[in-house]
Structure 1
Amino acid sequence: MPPSASASYPSSGARPPRQSVVARRRAAQDRFGALPFTSDEALAAGLSRSDLDSADVRRLFRGVFVDARVQVGHGLRCVAAVRRCGEGARISRLDAALLWGLPAPWSEGVSVSIPASRDVRGAGLVVHRHLRNSKTSSVWVPSVRLRLPTTAPVDLVRECLPRLSLVDVVVLADAVLRLPGVEPESARASWSSSGAGPGRARDLVRLVDAGAESAMESRLRVLLLLAGLPQPDAQFEVVACGRRRRLDLAFPDLKIAIEYDGDHHYVTEAQKHADIEREMSLRTEGWEVIRVVSHGIYRDPAGTVKAVAAALERRGRSVRLSDGWRPHFRQLA
């Protein structure tokens, strides 16, 4: 235990040198390293109330602090939020999704779920009760080198269902289905019984697919389905010119491949060459290849829908397009 402040002061009551005050504070703060601490822990370590109000200490939430030298990121704020909310608290909703590495938008405040028996409030926190029949899991957060309690991934989709757009929640659910240990049928059953409204839950279960390997592939598939096009196969494997290929989306019976090209496809000449070689091999085997970039989802979704519909019709599949995609995708081009 560091000496008390009075023990280092001259008996005359004169203020101690600034250097000694800083040294005492840092000696106490070093006990906590880069992790948050409560006011009670701070006082027990030798910090004073005035120390907690100083520039050497940063307040994260009411009664929870961190050394001002520490860079505060999302993981650290989540640790502090759990410390603030106490026993039974867990990170929830979009913040839990981000901790799990799932595709989710940022939100203001840290969402924390607490037991019904507790009542916690505070600036910077979005506190709510545990969702009925939901479970707690934990995830390793590298930035703080700790496991943090969160709403279980399947249940956090239920938490987010009434708060995200339909497309965003499908993107999230697709990613959850790819997590180790998640049973797709069990997850779908849980989501279909969600209290977020039967229509919304039904749409989610209809649109979700564990096959997509990226958020943009999920968005592309949802666009096509909402436009009334048939369900494509995700990550379909085909042998073309003696090499096994995996297609983002495909209509295998019609030999139509739909490939989403992210920015990395245009970074190096080697990647460009590989994409050209891949497309040529597919065309040699009779496949029609449609390439889509982010522009075709965020700015010209209508163009993407028309391109896929035209390919289906060329291969003998009649389609009846729907405007069901328009409330969910913006046409800017």
Structure 2
Amino acid sequence: MIPADLPLFLYGLPFRPHQVGRKLNWLLGLGDIRQVMKGVYVDVRVPDSAELRADAMRLLTPPEAVVCGAAAAWLHGLDTTALGPTELVEAQWTREAPDVVEVHGVRVTSPISTAVELAMRLPRPFALSAVDALLRSGKADLFALRAASAAYERQRGYRQGQEVLRWADRRAASPAESWLRLRLIDAGFGRPDLQVRVDGNGRTYRLDVAYPNQPVDGRWLGLEYDSDQWHSSVKQQLKDETRRTELDALGWHIIPVRRTDLWGSYPALELAVGSFLCQQPRLPRRW
């Protein structure tokens, strides 16, 4: 038994705001606690884990509930970046679900049902990144997803879901690579290849996204996503430039892509790709 007069965060257990009362903002200001999901907090020293996520979800859902949607994907291990623009997931649940599994004692829609639902319901870029992430986790198979999606034919979002499952690919190493691929497909450049291997200079390079079968004047096009986290320092940028100079000598034209190129209405990315491939991009952007 945990003494009632001691705050739960001291024990590393997730808790609701009312369980610490007016101390909540004070604890947040001190940096002693963090939000696990919307409406649930925990000691900052407690690492993220499947058990912690399940314990947090249990505080917000009734025992007979089946967690679904983005909340189910989060319990299956997906990062929130792949699921939407917000950093925290919200509790989503239903009382009826066709395919249910348990994750650390919490009833959850199966990875396959979750993936099909997200493909149909989330905004297109996040639908693709969520399905890619579930495929990459090994918890869902693309052929099984396509077969399972037939049961949803008359439901809202079925057409989008079929499109997302047509483009889904487990090789996407990050949500940004999924969004980049969708940008290129929407612009009419065709489906690019992923994790393309380039050998030369006594080493092997891996390109995030490329068109190895569409050479232009003996050169090929590759695109690489440069995240702010790993490509912002001067040292990192110099390393990137050296790498791209080496790839250029091997016949590869590399277009670096930042987050601002993926989101927003200005089509700088599409125009740069179209200029190299000698193709007019399909505009305006769809998202």
SS in 2 for 1:205: helix
TM-score by length of 1: 0.64
Pairing 1:86–2:67 present: no
Pairing 1:293–2:258 present: yes
TM-score by length of 2: 0.73
Aligned match for 2:183, one of 198, 220, 223: 223
Q: Which residue number in structure 2 is paired with residue 20 of structure 1?
A: none
For 2:112 and 2:244, the matched residues in 1 are separated by 37
Aligned match for 2:173, one of 192, 213, 216: 213
Q: Which residue number in structure 1 is paired with residue 29 of structure 2?
A: none
CA drift of 1:35 comes to: 5.9
C-alpha contact 2:187 2:270 (8 A) present in aligned 1: yes
C-alpha contact 1:34 1:70 (8 A) present in aligned 2: no
For 1:104 and 1:181, the matched residues in 2 are separated by 16
SS in 2 for 1:150: strand
CA drift of 1:101 comes to: 2.5
Q: One-letter code of the match for 2:199?
A: V
For 1:259 and 1:306, the matched residues in 2 are separated by 16
Q: One-letter code of the match for 2:71?
A: D
Unaligned runs of 5+ in 2: 22-31, 38-52
For 2:33 and 2:222, the matched residues in 1 are separated by 49
C-alpha contact 1:158 1:196 (8 A) present in aligned 2: no
- Given the superposition, is the C-alpha separation of residues 234 and 301 from structure 1 closer, same or farther in structure 2, using an over 3 Å criterion? farther
Aligned residues: 247
Q: Which residue number in structure 1 is paired with residue 91 of structure 2?
A: 110
Q: Which residue number in structure 1 is paired with residue 36 of structure 2?
A: 73
Pairing 1:327–2:259 present: no
- Given the superposition, is the C-alpha separation of residues 36 and 310 from structure 1 closer, same or farther in structure 2, using an over 3 Å criterion? closer
Unaligned runs of 5+ in 1: 2-22, 38-54, 59-68, 115-128, 139-145, 314-318, 329-333
- Given the superposition, is the C-alpha separation of residues 320 and 236 from structure 1 closer, same or farther in structure 2, using an over 3 Å criterion? same
For 1:247 and 1:161, the matched residues in 2 are separated by 26
For 1:292 and 1:273, the matched residues in 2 are separated by 16
Q: Name which structure has the greater RCO, CA cutoff 8 Å, separation 6+.
A: 2
SS in 2 for 1:280: helix
- Given the superposition, is the C-alpha separation of residues 246 and 109 from structure 1 closer, same or farther in structure 2, using an over 3 Å criterion? closer
Aligned match for 1:96, one of 69, 72, 79: 72
Give % identity.
Answer: 24
CA drift of 1:223 comes to: 0.8
Q: One-letter code of the match for 2:285?
A: R
Q: Which residue number in structure 1 is paired with residue 25 of structure 2?
A: none
CA drift of 1:265 comes to: 3.9
CA drift of 1:109 comes to: 4.9
SS in 2 for 1:256: strand
Q: One-letter code of the match for 2:78?
A: G
Query: Pairwise mapping of residues 113-262 of structure 1 onto structure 2 (< 5 A)?
Result: 113-114=94-95, 129-130=96-97, 132=98, 134-138=99-103, 148-191=106-149, 193-194=151-152, 195-253=155-213, 254=215, 255-262=220-227
Q: Which has the larger radius of gyration?
A: 1
